[in-house]
A and B are shown apart, each in its own frame.
Chain A
Amino acid sequence: AFKQKSLTSFFSKP
């Protein structure tokens, strides 16, 4: 099964 990742797991909040 594949899980859709969110961009928040790759890019940080300022």
Chain B
Amino acid sequence: CSKEGIMLQGMDEFHISLVEFFLSKRSFESYALCHDLCMSLPIDSLATVLKKANDDDVCTLKAGHKAKVLTVAIETRDQPWLVSKHDVPFIDLGSEYLVISRIPYDAKITVWSTRFARLAHELHQLSGSLDIQIIHEGARFTALDEGSGKKGCFIFRRAKVVDEYRDSEDDEPAGAIIHEFHRYFHKATSLRVSTKYLVHASKRAPLSSKVSVLMKEDQPLLVQYDFYEGVLKFYIAPRIAD
């Protein structure tokens, strides 16, 4: 927790995918912080507690200076006298925390998140890994089923004019990349990643209508959702030729 908001980091047990979730302080009804605070929490316990709250309930998260627990108070909005309190004890994550190096990416594309979710799902049916190539003219997502020899490919062409950008999902131009594309392109880049982890990242489509894919050769793939209250990033470690 910092004066800007809450930053959350989580990683899978094989250290292939890391999630970084930032919630700006503006997404909270009130946000008070005396000093920066770092907590390690078991995500299952936190999720279990938060699921006890209904959509309209008020959740207050509290932790003191040398606290060992995060206290979650759940209050019914129209019955403020009705409060339930739950403690989520901190755990020692030790080496499970990673410091993410901020690197300049060579290429970035932004596509409709529902389309991205569909391509991840479809390619996952074919193969355990896929290749992503971004060249000046567009992007290509390819998966090959080694057994049957079947190859699946989704191609996105760079939008030629800014007008191709539409805010409404219904007006989605077929296969077009939103115009931000060319601004972030430095050189042709390709990466191979596991489709399983891409599917996982693509499931967050309800957060934002657009998703960005950022790449640099031999570096983790970054899948990023920007939304008003914050940003959700998935870093996926690549598969590299032996």
Q: Contact: B99 with A14, CB < 8 Å?
A: yes
Q: Which of A1-14 contact B (CB under 8 A)?
A: 1-14
Cross-interface CB contact of A2 among B16, B98, B235, B239, cutoff 8 Å: B239
Write the B6-30 contact mask toward A (1 if CB under 8 angstroms, else 0): 0000010011111000000000000
Q: Contact: B192 with A8, CB < 8 Å?
A: no
Bound together, the chains give a CA A10 to CA B235 distance in angstroms of: 11
Asked whether any CB of chain A lies closer than 8 Å to the CB of B241, the reply is yes
Classify chain B: how many residues form its interface, as a range: 20 to 34
Q: In the assembled complex, which residues on chain A have CB atoms less than 8 Å from the CB atom of B129?
A: 2
Q: In the assembled complex, which residues on chain B have CB atoms less than 8 Å from the CB atom of A6?
A: 14-16, 237
Write the B196-240 contact mask toward A (1 if CB under 8 angstroms, else 0): 000000000000000000000001100000000000000101111
Q: In the assembled complex, which residues on chain A have CB atoms less than 8 Å from the CB atom of B18?
A: 7, 11
Q: Contact: A10 with B192, CB < 8 Å?
A: no
Q: Contact: B15 with A2, CB < 8 Å?
A: no
Q: Contact: A11 with B98, CB < 8 Å?
A: yes
Number of A-B contacts (CB under 8 A): 57
Taking A2-B129, A4-B194, A5-B237 as contacts, is the C-beta distance between A10 and B242 under 8 angstroms?
A: no
Q: Contact: A3 with B242, CB < 8 Å?
A: yes
- Min CB distance A14 to B, Å, is 5
**Chain B residues close to A by CB (< 8 Å):** 11, 14-18, 95, 97-101, 129, 192, 194, 219-220, 235, 237-242
A-B contact pairs, 27 of them (CB 8 A): A2-B192, A2-B239, A2-B240, A2-B242, A3-B239, A3-B241, A5-B237, A5-B240, A6-B14, A7-B17, A7-B220, A7-B235, A8-B15, A8-B98, A10-B101, A10-B219, A10-B237, A11-B18, A11-B99, A11-B101, A11-B220, A12-B98, A12-B99, A12-B101, A13-B97, A13-B98, A13-B99
Give 8 new A-B contacts, CB below 8 A, not counting A7-B237, A11-B99, A12-B101. Answer: A2-B192, A2-B242, A5-B239, A7-B220, A8-B98, A10-B237, A12-B98, A14-B99
**Chain A residues close to B by CB (< 8 Å):** 1-14
